[in-house]
């Protein structure tokens, strides 16, 4: 029962460095999402994808890039890391429409600190 | 735009007692869904309960129930017979019937006291 797997679980970056947060799911879900959770705040949508080759911006896309070359994988790229990107990042997935019934399946998150 | 407000940053309850977490939302949509998610210290997001806006009957899942007041745009979560394992952050979330995006509140940190 792998579900949604995120790597790494923790990471410290220096300002200006780049990194990719990995997300993979084994449920054949079409829809995948990246959220960030800041302290004392709810989750905010960064990017989402409704299928391989299709991505779209969410509420807070600045400073991030995504790609979706396969159904399983949805990596999130941070270019030129800034302290404002210190957050916990969650990847999630769902089938079309079933997210309305069962919610999303979430990964366990990546805690990123930019110093 | 949709907004979700949770006005109680922290709450506590004695084990076996009942607690109610509040949530209000703002939307111009008529057809939508509301969820409560639980986030324990493990950070895993766990679906607790959901409500379809077109249903008047309040959803119930074992010890968890909601009070959905559509006109007031209120969606509170009641936890009965609280257990130590209920200690977690609870998020209220909204999604349009035609939407791809959940809108989350800021969360309520619930502590169950032995």
Q: What angle do CA A78, A80, A81 make, to 5 degrees?
A: 65
What's the DSSP call for residue B15? T
Residue of B nearest to A95 (CA): B100
Q: What integer best gives the mean pLDDT of chain A?
A: 93
* Position B25 pLDDT exceeds 90: yes
Q: Look at the alpha carbons of A109, A111, B2, B8 in this order and tell me if their dihedral is positive or negative.
A: positive
Q: How many residues does chain A have?
A: 115
Sketch out chain B's domains with CATH numbers: 3-113 (2.60.40.10)
A30: nearest CA partner in chain B: B100
**A12 close to A115: Cβ distance less than 8 angstroms:** yes
Query: At A1, is the pLDDT very low, low, confident or very high (cuts 50, 70, 90)?
Result: low
CB-based contact A106 B106, cutoff 8 Å = no
Query: Greater confidence, B100 or B109?
Result: B109
Angstrom distance (rounded) from CA A87 to CA A41: 10
Place of tokens 């990194």: A19
Answer yes or no: are the C-beta atoms of B68 and B89 closer than 8 Å. no
CB < 8 Å to A99, chain B: 95, 100
Is residue B68 predicted with pLDDT exceeding 80?
A: yes
Chain B contact probe: residue of A103, A104, A105, A110 with most B CBs at under 10 A: A103
Q: Domains of chain A by range and CATH?
A: 4-114 (2.60.40.10)
């Amino acid at each position: 029962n792998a579900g949604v797997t995120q790597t790494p679980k923790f990471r410290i970056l220096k300002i200006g460095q780049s990194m990719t947060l990995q997300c993979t799911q084994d449920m054949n879900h079409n829809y995948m999402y990246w959220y960030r959770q800041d302290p004392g705040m709810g989750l905010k949508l960064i990017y989402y994808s409704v299928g391989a080759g299709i991505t779209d911006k969410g509420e807070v896309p600045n400073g991030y890039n995504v790609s979706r070359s396969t159904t399983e994988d949805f990596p999130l790229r941070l270019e030129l890391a800034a302290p404002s990107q210190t957050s916990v990042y969650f990847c999630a997935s769902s089938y079309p429409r079933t997210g309305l019934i069962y919610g999303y399946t979430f990964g366990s998150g990546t805690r990123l600190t930019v110093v | 735009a949709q907004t979700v407000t949770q006005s109680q940053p922290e709450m506590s309850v004695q084990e076996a007692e009942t607690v109610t977490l509040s949530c209000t939302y703002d939307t111009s949509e008529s057809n939508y869904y509301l969820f409560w998610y639980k986030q324990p210290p493990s950070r895993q997001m766990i679906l607790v309960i959901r409500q379809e806006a077109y249903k008047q009957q309040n959803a119930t899942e074992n010890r968890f129930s909601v009070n959905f007041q559509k006109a007031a745009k209120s969606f509170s979560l009641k936890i009965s017979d609280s257990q130590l394992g209920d200690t977690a952050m609870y998020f209220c979330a909204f999604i349009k019937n035609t939407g791809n995006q959940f809108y989350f509140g800021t969360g309520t940190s619930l502590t169950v006291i032995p």
